[in-house]
Every structure is written in C-alpha cells, then in structure tokens.
Amino acid sequence: MIRPLLFGLLILSLAACETTKGAGRDLQKAGQAISNTARNVQDAL
C-alpha cells in the first residue's frame, strides 16, 4: 500500500520540477524580450 503511494509522489514531484523549469525558461525569454525592446527604444532616442 505504501509503495504505490510513494511511487505516485515521486512521479508528481518530477512533473513539478519540469513545470517549474519550463516556467523559468518562459520568464527568462520574456525578460530578454523586454530588455531588447528597452534597448531598441533607447537607441531610437
């Protein structure tokens, strides 16, 4: 009984790590886009 429960928790924790990793990548890309836009605006001034 305890083994399937532990296995399920392990699978969920691995899935959560991948989700967090993907969210971090998305935020990093958004930050780069904002930085690039700000740089372009400064260059245009």
Nearest-CA neighbor of 17 among 5, 28, 6, 25? 25
In terms of pTM, does the model score above 0.85? no
CA separation for the pair 12, 21 (Å, rounded): 14
- The pLDDT of residue 18 is 72
- The pLDDT of residue 32 is 93
Tell me the pLDDT tens digit for each residue of 1-45. Answer: 788 888 887 787 777 777 777 778 888 999 999 999 999 999 998
CA separation for the pair 29, 15 (Å, rounded): 21
CA separation for the pair 36, 45 (Å, rounded): 14
